[in-house]
Structure 1
Amino acid sequence: MSTQDTEVGGYRLIREIGRGGFGSVHLAEAPGGGLAAVKLLHADPGTDPRFARMFADEVDAARRISPFCVAQVLDADPHADRPWIASEYVEGRTLAEEITAEGPRTGADLQRLAIVYAASGRHAFSGDRQTAIIKRILIDDPDCSGVPDELRGLVTRCLAKEPEDRPSAHQVLNALLGFSEDGADVDTALARGTTAATKEMRPLAPTRWETRKVSADEPERPSDRGGETRFEEAGRGPAATPSGPASPPYRFAGRLHHSVGELAETMAAEPGTAAAVFDDADERAALAGWIIEDLGDTRIDRSLLRKPPREDVIAVLAFISQARPDLPPVLGEADLSLSGLREVSDGIDDPLDAHSDFDVEIMEIASVFECRAPDHGCARGDGCAEYRALIDDVRRAMAVFEEIRHPYTAWARGPGRGKEKAFDFQIREEVFVHAVLFPEPWRGLVDGDRASLEEEWRAVLPAEPPHDAPLPERVAHSLVIRLLCRVLRDLAARHRKLSARRKRLEVYLPAREKADEVGSEAGFIVRNALAAAVVFGVVGWAGLSSGEDPRIGLAIGSAILAYFVSGGILVAVWDARTKEILKDVTEPYTHVKDQKKKVERAKKAIASLGEEIDALDRAREELPSPARGG
C-alpha cells in the first residue's frame, strides 16, 4: 500500500489483510468509529477498463444481497479514480480452521460450499512433504473416499488431470442445483443459484440507524418502520405486510411476540432474559432471522445481531431504543433517564471514592428515548436535548482533562514521589458526570481538598479557571486540583513523618553526648578515689606490719572507706544527672547495645533523612502551575 493510500472515502486504512488479482482488502476505521473492510481495485493508466466495469457489477451485486447473509455493504464508489467498496468487518475463521474445530461439513452446508476438504476434513492429495503432495497431484488419483456419494463423482471430475475432462463452472452449478449439466443457460443457472443461496430473500432497504442519510425534514414512510406508522402502535399486534398475512411470532420470556416493538417492551421489563439472548450466538441468529427475514424490519442496527456485545446491558438498551424510542429508558428497576441519573448521582458523596453503573455510552443511548420532562421543551421524536447537552459537556470535560493532565503526570513520576498512577489511571466517566450535573457540590469538594493541606503545600496548587469559564473547562481543571491535593496530602504526610524522625535524632545526639561527658567526669573522680584508696591501703598495711602505732592503720582504713563512700555518692550523682539529661529523649535503635555504634548510626540517619526531606521540598516547588493559588 502506497503512502498516499491512508484514507479512502473517509475510511482510514490500517493494514492490508488480503490481496488478489483484482485488488487488495484492507482493515479500516470507519468514519463513525468501528472497523470496516475496504476493497481497493488495482488501478493504473494501463489497467483494462473492463476491470472497473466488473468491479461496479460486483458492488451492485453485493448491495442486492440480504445483509444478513453476508457482511453489509457500508459504502462504495466504483467510479472513483481508484474504485473501492467498504463493507462490515466480520472476524472469523478460515475454512481450514473451521473444519479443524467443527469437523467436516455434511448435507446442505456441504453442497453450498461444494468442495474435497469440507466433506472429509482432509486434502485429496495429502502428504507430509511438499514434494510428495506435488507428486500425488501430478500422478495419483485423488482421495475422495470421504465425500458423500451424491457429490463424489462431480468432485472427482473436477480434479481430473486433463483440463478437458473437468466440468465448467456452469456445469458444476447446474449439477449442484439438480439440473442436467447443460440444461440451463448461464444466466438462468446463476439466477437459480442466487435464489438457492439466499433462500429467495428480498433486498432490504437501507437501515436508517446505520446510514443516517434520512434528512430531519423528510417525511417518514410506513415502510421505514416495518409496516408500523407510529411507535406507539408498535406493540399492539402482529405486523402484516400489505400483500401478505401476519408474520410468525417470536417467543421471548414465555410469550409470543408479533412485532419488534412489542418485543422491545417486554425486553425492557425483562433485561436479564434479554441480555442472555444477545450473549448467545444462536439466539442472536434466531432473533435476526425473525426481524430481517420474517418481518423485514429495517430499524435495528445489524451489528447488534451479528456479533457478541461488548456489554449485554448496552446491547439490550440499544435494541429497545431503536425499536421503541417512545418507551421510557428503563431496564427492569433501573431508571436510565436524565432524572434517574440525577437521583443516582445525587446520592454519591464523592464520585472519586464511589462507583455507579452509569457511563457515557449508556447515557447516549438513553438520550435517544422520547423526552417526557415537561420543562425541557424537547421536540417530540427527537430524544432529550438536555440529556445530549449534558453528554456533550461530559465529553468536553474529559477531553480537556486529557489535554491538561500530562505535565502533572510527568511531575508525579519524579524521584521519590511514586504517584504517577494518580494521573495515568482512567478516571471513571461518572466522576465527570457528577461534576457536570452538580457543579456547586463539586466545587465544595474541591474547596475541602484545598483546606486539607497545610499552607505551604496549598500555596503551590494551580489556580482554578474563573467562574464564568465554560463548565467543562472548570470541571477538568478542578479535577486536576483534586487529584493534586490527594498526591500532595501523601507527600506532606511523608514530609511530616521524616521531619519528626530527624528531629528526634537531632535531639538525641547532643543529649547523648552531654550524658557521656558527665559520665566521663564522674568516672575520672571514682578512678582517682580508688587509686588513692589502694595506695593508702598498701601504706597502712606496711605500717602495721612493721609494728608502728595501730592508730596509723585505723586512720588509713578510715580514709580508704571515705574514698569508697564518696566514689559511690559520685556514681549515684552521675547516674541521676544522666537520667535528667535523657529524660525527654527517645532512645533510638534499642536493639543496639553499643552506645558508640548507636551514635554513629543516628548521625548517618540524620543525613539520609535530610536528603529525603529536601527532595520532597523540591517536589513541592517543582509542581507545574501557570499561576499559583492559595
Structure 2
Amino acid sequence: MDGAARTVGEYRLVRSLGRGGFGEVFLGETGDGARAAVKLLHASWAGDADMRRRFAAEVEQARRVSGFCIAGILDADPEAEQPWIATEYIEGPTLQASVVEEGPRSGDELQRLAVSTATALAAIHAAGVVHRDLKPDNIMLAADGPRVIDFGIARAVESTSVTASGVVGTIGYMAPEQLEGLRLTSAVDLFSWGSVMVFAATGHEAFPGPTQASRVARVLSGEPETADVPAPLAAAVRACLDKDPRQRPDAPALLDHLVTGRPLPTAGGPAVAYTAATRVEGAPAIPATRTHTRLETAPPPVEQAVEPSVEPPATDGGTRAPLTQGAYAGAGPGSAPPGEAPPYHFAGIRFTRVGALAAAMQEHWPAAVAVFGDAAELAALGSWIVGDVGDTTIDRALFRRQVRDVNLAVASFVAQARPDLPPVFRGHDASVPGLRKLFHDPRPLLTGAPMANELILLARPAVLRVMASHGTGDAAELRSLAGSLDAAERAGTAFHQELVRNLVGWRDVPARVDPALILTFLLDPALVVAPEPGIPRAEGDWIAVLWSRVEGATGAERAGYAATVYGALPTVTRLARQRAEWREREQSTRSEYARLEATVRTQKSYGTAKTCSLWIGGTSFFVGTVSGAADMPLMAALGWLTGLVAGMAFVILVVMDHSAHGDSIARARRVRHLESLPHLLPELRSGLQRMDADLARAHRIGGGSGSTAR
C-alpha cells in the first residue's frame, strides 16, 4: 500500500514506520503540520469481525492508560472500512536501535530506564491491561523519557491469553507460561521487563540461542544470562525472570524496590486472577489490594461438570458415541465398574482408563496443559496412572521430573497412551498433509503475525518425532522431516556463524534461523525464493550475494540457508542503509571541503587586499606629509588623496569581509574545520572500503568456497 497517496481521517500518510502481524504504522501529518503515528489494521483483517472487535478493544484499553508512559491516543475510527488509530508521534529511537548503534546502558542511565519502564507497567496494569509484547522495539526513547508503545496485542483483563490464530508475543521476551499457552497474568509483563533490562544492560538477550527453537527451549528450561547486569539491578531482574509467575514481583512492588531500595516481597502464594466477572480464584474472601494481584488474560478452564451425567463430545457428525466405545472408551458417569480403577476427573468427565483420558486430553489441549503445568495436578495424575490404574505403558519420567516443556509432555503422554490416534499438537493436525496446510504460506512468519509463534512451537524436531510415534501412515515421513529439520537448522546456523566470523559488519549479530520457516521450505521447496530487496541498492547486492549459497545447495541445506538469508534481512537492511549514509557523508564532506576551501581562500584574499590597502594608505599619507613639509604642494595633495582612497578601500574591504565571513572567531572556527576534514575523509573512505570488503568476502562465502581471511 502506498501510504503517501492516502489520507486517513485528518492525517495524510507520509511514509511507513513499521509493519506487524496486525497492522501497519505510518507517519501521518495534519494540514497544520502536526504529526502522529497512524496504525491501520491490515486489509486482510479488516473484514474479520473478531479482529475488528479486538481493534476496538485495543483503542479503549489504551485510552484507560495514563498518557505519561505511553504514546497517547489522538484519534481513532474502529468502524472505518479499514480501522485505524492515531497516537502521539514520538521523536527518538527505539531501545533496540539505540543499544545496537550506541551500545548497552549503564549507571544512572540504566537505572532511569528501569524506573521509567517499571512505572509504565504499573500504570498499564492499574488500567486493567496486560501488554503481552514488551520488548526493546516497543520502548521509544523520547526526549522526556522512555515511552511504551504498540498496544496492538495488549489485552484487557477479560480477554483470552491466545488469539484466534495463536500464541502472541516475541520469542526471547515471552514468559514460559506465555509460550506454553497457560493461564496468563500480568506477571508475563514482568518477565518481559526482566528480559528487556538484560538486553539494555548487556546488548544481548537474556535467553540467547543460535535458533528460534533453541531460544524457546532455553526460555522454558534454561537459566538467563544475567552475569553482566550491574549488581543493583541484577536481583530485580532475576526475580522477574523466575519461571514461576507466582514468584515474580508485581509492577508496584518492583517500582518500590527500584526507587527506595526496599527488598522485594517474598513471593510464594498463588497469583490472584480476575475473571471477566472479577471473581477472585484461590484467594481469601477479603478483597486483595491491587499491589498483590495479577490480571488474568487467560480463558476460564474447560467447563467442569457439576452433574455426574456429562457425555463426551459428538464424534460422528452430531451423534454422540457411547461412553464405553470409541476414543472415550472407559469414560463415563457414576462409580467405576467392579474391578476397575477409581475414576479420574478431567474436563467434567470421569475416566477409568488411561487411553480414554489421553483422547480427551488431545481434544481439550488447554485443559491438559493446565494439568501438566501444575506440579500438584501432575502428581495426582501420576498417582492415578501408576498406583490406581497400574498402567505400564506410560513413561514414569513424565510424572517424576519437573516438566519444562508442557506441550511436549502432553503430546508424549497422548502418543504413549493412544498411538492409534492421529497426530495432533495444540489442536493442530500434525500429520504431513496437516503440516502442509498449516505451513503453506511463509508470510505470517516474515511479518510476525500471531500465528508465527504457534508454528514455531510446532516446528521442532522433538515435536515431530513424538507425532511420528502415533504410528500413522506418514510416521516415516514425519521422522524424516524431523531429521531434515535438525540438519537444516545446523546448516543454517553454521552459515550464519561463518558470516559472523569473517565479516566485520556482522560482529555480534544474533542468528535468526527460524525453524518454522525451514519447515515451510522443507514441506514445499517451491516456496524457496529470494526475498525482494528494499530501496537501498546495496540491500539487493547483499541479498544476491547471500542467496548464491542457497542456489548452490539442495535438500535440507537449501532450506536452512534460505531461512538464514531471510533471518539476516534486518542486518542486510542495516548494512545497506549504513553504506548509503556513509557514501552520502563522504560526498557531502567532499563538497563541504571544496566549499570551505574556496571560502578560506577568499578570506585570505580579503586579508591580503586589506593589508595592501592599509600599507598603501599609510605610505601615501607619509609621502604627502613629507612633501608638504618640503613645500611640494602637488606631491603632498597626491599623497594625501591616495592615502584617503586606500583608507576608504580598507574600510570597504573590512565591511565586505565581515559580512561574507563573520567575525574573527567564526573565521578561525572555519579554518579549523577545514583542517579537520582531510582527517575525516580517510575514515569515511576506510569504512566504505571495509563494507566493500565484507561484501566481497560474503560473495566468496555465498559461493561455498569455505572460510575466508579473517
TM-score (norm 2): 0.44
Higher relative contact order (CA 8 A, sep 6+): 2
State the structure with more CA Rg. 1
